[in-house]
Amino acid sequence: MSDVSVIGLGAMGSALAIALIKGGYAVTVWNRSPEKAAPLVAAGAVQAGSAAEALRASPVTVICIASHDKTLELLGAAGDAVSGRTIIELSTGGAEDAEALAAHLDGQGADWMIGIINAYPTGISLPETVLLMVGAEPVWQRCAPIIRTLGGGSARVGDRAGMIAALFAALFTTRQGFMFGMIYGGLVCRKAGIPLDVFASQIPVSMGVLPAYHKYFSDTVPAGKFDNPPATMTVYAAALDDALATFRALGAHAELPQLFSDLAHRGVEAGLDDKALTALVELMSRD
């Protein structure tokens, strides 16, 4: 019997399997395209003939395929092979899909951890790589050595399956907020005739304020302390209005700066004019 099975041998799944093999685990692998297992077998893994066989081969199975609903489909076809096993699910999907998967596993008498990987395949096994997991504390305690072999900074962040989809959405929105900020920045520069290489060269300079922004958020939101900020809601609203006016004057699409301005003014109108901009988290959560 193996220590861990890995189902799904794309770039990420293969990286997970290699990390476990190098970490000293006996590993069984399976993929719909069996040829993908060849490099892992050469590295010491055992190739299963089916998903059910892979599940039965080990007390713990790591699944990294397209989505939670695909995992649910795969496990449904595997019948009772999942019963009594522990599933570490690292696919993607929404909150409802994650909850449906967890309900199926509970009904089959299986334990589970569902998580997201905050790294590319090249980051798997590094001490600083983080897998964020949800699931019961006793299951985490049993699975933590395996998961931390995949990412040394990994942590359990909750117990409900749907939490991980919300956390992914939050982190993804944060990253894409930066990306779309650059897109709109490039747009207004092009409209103004500013060479885009000049704009691009200044982005790293502007990024220098990001640690201060993170501190602003961390100092206010978790504790709900929004008084006496370094810049108030009113100050932000005025600055956002200036940026919005520039977009409009140049005839540039202004959906993103308009959203920013609208939200800041909503905070001012709600009586949060002297509070931190981050008080919008509290305000909007009341809706």
Q: What is the pLDDT of residue 205?
A: 95
Q: What is the pLDDT of residue 187?
A: 97
On the CB side of 42, CA atoms within 13 Å amount to 6
129-185 confidence digits (pLDDT tens) = 999 999 999 999 999 999 999 999 999 999 999 999 999 999 999 999 999 999 999
Task: Using alpha carbons, list the distances in angstroms from residue 285 to 1, 111, 162, 246.
Answer: 49, 32, 18, 31
**Can you tell me whether residue 155 is helix, strand or coil?**
strand
Q: Of the CATH numbers 3.30.70.360, 3.40.50.300, 3.30.930.10, 3.40.50.720, which one belongs to the domain with range 4-159?
A: 3.40.50.720
**Can you tell me whether residue 240 is helix, strand or coil?**
helix
Q: What is the pLDDT of residue 83?
A: 98
Instruction: Report phi then psi at 4, rounded to 5.
Output: -145, 140
Averaged pLDDT, 1-15: 97
Q: How many CB atoms lie within 10 A of CB 228?
A: 9
In the block, residue with structure tokens 């997991």? 133
Q: What is the pLDDT of residue 195?
A: 97
Averaged pLDDT, 4-9: 98
Listed in order, the ranges of the chain carrying CATH 1.10.1040.10 are 195-285
Q: What is the pLDDT of residue 153?
A: 98
Bridge partners (DSSP) listed for residue 276: 232
Averaged pLDDT, 218-239: 95
Is residue 149 within a helix (H) or strand (E), and if so which, with residue range?
Answer: helix 137-150
Listed in order, the ranges of the chain carrying CATH 3.40.50.720 are 4-159
Measured between alpha carbons, how far is 86 from 106 in angstroms, rounded to an integer?
11
Task: Assign domain 195-285 to its CATH superfamily.
Answer: N-(1-d-carboxylethyl)-l-norvaline Dehydrogenase; domain 2 (1.10.1040.10)
Instruction: Report phi then psi at 118, rounded to 5.
Output: -95, 60
Task: Using alpha carbons, list the distances in angstroms from residue 287 to 8, 75, 279.
Answer: 40, 38, 14
Counted residue by residue, the chain has a size of 287
Q: What is the pLDDT of residue 80?
A: 96
